[in-house]
Amino acid sequence: MFSAAPWLTAIDLIGTFVFAVSGATLGVRRQLDLFGVLVLSVAAATAGGIIRDVMIGAVPPASLVNWEYLAVATLAGVVTFAFAEIVERVEHPVRLFDAAGLGLFAVAGTAKALDFGLAAPSAVLLGTLSGIGGGIVRDIMVAQVPTVLRSELYASAAIVGGICVTVAVWLQLPRGPAMVVGAVLCFVLRFMAIRYRWGLPVARARADGSDD
């Protein structure tokens, strides 16, 4: 079977960079200093991968063993801090880079879970957790409701990306291209959800606003 390792490493590092940009951009918006921006960028970039690796027993996590991950996350944070005005010219920069990281980590997490012998449903679930983990940590660190808990499609998009990888394995197709296709589908679905406000039903509060 085609080895996913070269594709997995490349997609993991690209995902690390774009997630770090999303974290750093949010830090700049909250007017954090350089250290705060870097903390947020590294947390957003590595949290999903750490969750993935710990849950499948790949410890110590890759992002803590290989210096490339922290270097890429730090570089993304510094670049974003230095060129924040250019980054802000992108429409919805935090959510856009977050969508890219979501797709990349979802497929990378699914592929790595399959390599460790997990069944397809469990691999997709772990891939989804990999994708949403960084965004959750990033949002909690700045005291806002995580994106995954809001109305726009988020985890659902990650599931689609993970399914693409598992289907490719089931059909014995090359995993590398399937990971690229899955990441693109996840990104497109998330982007469309942002643009057109696609989402799941939202809970409605009681008219009197009480909790009793």
Is the pLDDT assigned to residue 127 strictly greater than 50?
yes
The mean pLDDT of 161-190, rounded to a whole number, is 93
Reported as a pLDDT band with limits 50, 70 and 90, residue 195 is confident
| Residue 151: per-residue pLDDT | 60
The mean pLDDT of 116-135, rounded to a whole number, is 94
| Residue 210: per-residue pLDDT | 56
- Type of residue numbered 123: A
Is the pLDDT assigned to residue 86 strictly greater than 70?
yes
| Residue 196: per-residue pLDDT | 86
Report yes or no on whether pTM surpasses 0.85. yes
CB burial of 63-100 (b: ≥16 within 10 Å; e: otherwise) equals: beeeeebbebbbebbbbbbeebeebeeeeebbbbbbbb
Is the pLDDT assigned to residue 169 strictly greater than 70?
yes
